């Protein structure tokens, strides 16, 4: 606990993704007071043309109540 999935457009370097994963782990460990060994982070690349159907509609628009940070706009309306 916990497992975090970051969905992002392709094209970010492996170094950038590793840095982001490390920063997420640090924030989780500090905030939730848990051990680093219990945190996992996955990166899922999603093509821009697939974002609306595979991420925005099911994960964002379909889950407003569970979002702690909502996007500033809906590019798919």
Domain ranges of the chain: 1-45, 49-77
In angstroms, the CA 44 to CA 6 distance is 6
CATH 3.20.20.70 fits 1-45, yes or no: no
Catalytic residues: 2
Predicted TM-score (pTM) of the model is: 0.89
pLDDT of residue 32: 96
Residues 27-36: contacts with CB under 8 Å, at least 24 apart: 28/2, 28/4, 32/2, 34/1
Strands (E), 1-77: 3-8, 40-45
pLDDT of residue 72: 85
Q: Please list the pLDDT of the chain residue by residue as tens digits (77 residues).
A: 899 999 999 999 999 999 999 999 999 999 999 999 999 999 999 999 999 999 999 999 989 999 999 898 776 76
pLDDT of residue 77: 65
From 37, 14, 16, 27, select the one nearest 68 (Cα to Cα): 27
């Amino acid at each position: 606990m916990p497992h975090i999935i970051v969905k992002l457009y392709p094209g970010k370097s492996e170094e950038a993704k590793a840095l982001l994963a490390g920063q997420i782990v640090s924030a989780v460990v500090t905030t939730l007071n848990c051990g680093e060994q219990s945190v996992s982070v996955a990166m899922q690349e999603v093509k821009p043309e697939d974002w609306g159907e595979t991420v925005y509609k099911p994960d964002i628009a379909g889950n407003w109540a569970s979002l702690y940070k909502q996007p500033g706009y809906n590019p798919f309306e």
